[in-house]
Structure 1
Amino acid sequence: MVLAVTAGLTLVGSSTLLAAPALDDVARPASPTETASRDIQWRDDASCDLATVDALAARHPEVRQFVVLATSTFNDTAGTAFTAARRANEEWVCQTEQQIARFGRTGTRPLVERRSGDGTTPAGVFPLGEVTAWDGERVSVFGNRPDPGVRPGVGYRDVRPEDCWGATPNTPEYQRLFARPGCPGPEDEWLLRFGDVYSHAAVIGANLDPVSGDEPGEPPYAAAIFLHRHSYTETGATRPTSGCVSLPLLDLATTIRLLDPQLTPHFAIGPTSWLRTTA
């Protein structure tokens, strides 16, 4: 099956909710009635770095779908993103073209070497995260806009006014989605406040299961690490993030719609040479 993809937009934006681009231009996922043996959505005209995917797959054989978020060096704040998956015939194929991605304002760093607030994006191979919200809902993707069309088995949450993602180190709420409008801690994220930057956001499973940093004295490796929409300056330039990875809106929606629990999706983040040899 060939996936139609619309190029991402470059918008002058803010954290307020803007008029929504036409997400219907991005192909919807396949029917939920299809079985686990079905083939995947992919683009026969797409080009991506399958050499890196092959190297990752050799070390992570259980993974059948990678979202590769790559830079040239650990210091870079900009790089590329693409999604690749293993077909039923075991062939790896590109599900998207390479897209423009932004990373932490101080680059990327292996998870155990970084700390919350240092401005780096965690480098490594991480699953699509899943957390239990304060009301019991299981969440892997959330947003200040309606569900863009996630696949069955991917929990999508419409952001509530109470939703606060704990990011203050060494507190019980660290790396948890709890209820507190406005958020109490200095580093906690009130999801509603982020507006269209969190139009849709996928949870990157860095420092999840188990969490380090929710007890006194534990190293706070990472909290609130998401794949979300670009933030823009007043001139329309993209900004680096505080530790997440960002994409243009329509590229983000395409990626989120492709995430397939049957393929054990993982995010591979870091410099290309490091991903090929170490991650």
Structure 2
Amino acid sequence: MTRRPRLCAALAVAAAAVTAFGLLGASGPASAQVVAPTAVPLPADIGQLPSTVKQLVTVEGGYTSTYATVTAWARVNGSWVVRMRTTGRVGYSGLSDMGVGIRRQSDGTTPTGLYKIGYGFGTGSNPGTSMWWRRFDRNDYWSFDARDPKTYNVFQTQRPATAYWRAYSPYSEHLYDLASEYQYAFLINFNLPKSKPYQRADGQWVTSSPANTARGGGIFLHVNGSGATAGCVSVPRDRMLWLTRWFGPAYQPHIAIGTTSLIRSL
């Protein structure tokens, strides 16, 4: 049986905090929709969030569903306030738990759990985020070829002739082939290398402490495509742009992906 994380205690949400959060610099564009606080579920791992985390995206769905409710939360004076809510998409095979490591590369599932939001990337220049932003081009790939562990789940700015990883699915993604979905995207820090990648003389980005080559990589938060994802979380384009401008490094944004069995109501 798959091990489930413990349930967290309920969090109090005060309606007055909506107004208070409007005073914070990272509250997002002035025109952004503020959703009235309601009794909605939060994943169990929320109890693990330190008080320094002020921004949270929750992704709530069923194990076999390819749809999820995506909610952006802000922590104000110790309370969580809903800032935006939309319907998003997850993997074409639904969700998978990480408790016993059942998530595998190319299985089409989105991994449940609590993760940091990493840097942003897209087809254009910085669209207004204070997070670190990378503009990609036709030369760029995301590699997850198990036969080349040092480059596994690492952004590649080129594929030199000496590269051992394969430049086609399911061993890598040519980012420009998904330019519409990756117009605005953020890395979800799932199964990343244990040490910081560095660029070798041949141009490849490698790490001395690779990620788990069985778990898969390239798990992003990005713009909706035509249907379910291959393991990422996606939302409508306007909502993704809102999130892009809302995220701020000072607020340590995280994302929590959970199922009905992992949550309890506020």
Q: TM-score range by the shorter chain?
A: 0.7 to 0.9
Q: Mind listing any 5+ residue stretches in structure 1 that lack a counterpart?
A: 4-29, 130-139, 233-238
Match of 1:184 among 148, 158, 167: 167
Q: Report SS of the residue matched to 2:240.
A: helix
Same amino acid, percent of matched pairs: 27
4+ residue runs over 3 A deviation: 42-45, 47-57, 214-219
Is 1:226 equivalent to 2:220 in the alignment? yes
Q: Report SS of the residue matched to 2:194.
A: coil
- Corresponding letter in the other structure for 1:160: D
C-alpha separation in 2, matches of 1:67 and 1:145? 24
Shift in Å at residue 272 of structure 1?
Answer: 3.8
Q: Report SS of the residue matched to 1:150.
A: coil
Shift in Å at residue 261 of structure 1?
Answer: 1.4
Match of 1:105 among 92, 99, 104: 92
Match of 1:143 among 111, 122, 134: 122
Is 1:64 equivalent to 2:48 in the alignment? no
Q: Is the 8 A contact 1:70 1:270 kept in 2?
A: yes
Q: Report SS of the residue matched to 2:218.
A: coil
TM-score by length of 1: 0.70
1:231-250 to structure 2, matched below 5 A, reads 231-232=225-226, 239-250=227-238
1:124-273 to structure 2, matched below 5 A, reads 124-129=113-118, 140-151=119-130, 154-171=131-148, 172-180=150-158, 184-186=167-169, 187-210=171-194, 218-232=212-226, 239-273=227-261
Q: Report SS of the residue matched to 1:246.
A: strand
Q: Is the 8 A contact 1:104 1:242 kept in 2?
A: yes
Shift in Å at residue 120 of structure 1?
Answer: 0.2
RMSD: 3.1
Shift in Å at residue 126 of structure 1?
Answer: 0.4
Change (3 A) 1:217 1:177: closer
1:64-83 to structure 2, matched below 5 A, reads 64-71=54-61, 73-83=62-72
Change (3 A) 1:275 1:125: farther
Q: Mind listing any 5+ residue stretches in structure 2 that lack a counterpart?
A: 1-16, 161-165, 196-206
Is 1:122 equivalent to 2:111 in the alignment? yes
Name the stretch that deviates more: 116-125 or 265-274: 265-274
Name the stretch that deviates more: 59-68 or 249-258: 59-68
Change (3 A) 1:190 1:217: closer
C-alpha separation in 2, matches of 1:161 and 1:67? 30
- Corresponding letter in the other structure for 1:158: R
C-alpha separation in 1, matches of 2:263 and 2:110? 14
Shift in Å at residue 179 of structure 1?
Answer: 2.8
C-alpha separation in 1, matches of 2:212 and 2:186? 26
Richer in strand (by share): 2
C-alpha separation in 2, matches of 1:107 and 1:223? 16
Partner residue in 2 for 1:14? none
Change (3 A) 1:181 1:218: closer
Q: Report SS of the residue matched to 2:41.
A: helix
Post-superposition CA distance 1:13-54 (Å, at most 9, x none): xxxxxxxxxxxxxxxxx9xxx9xxx56527784146665349
Change (3 A) 1:161 1:78: same
Partner residue in 1 for 2:74? 85
The alignment covers a number of residue pairs equal to 222
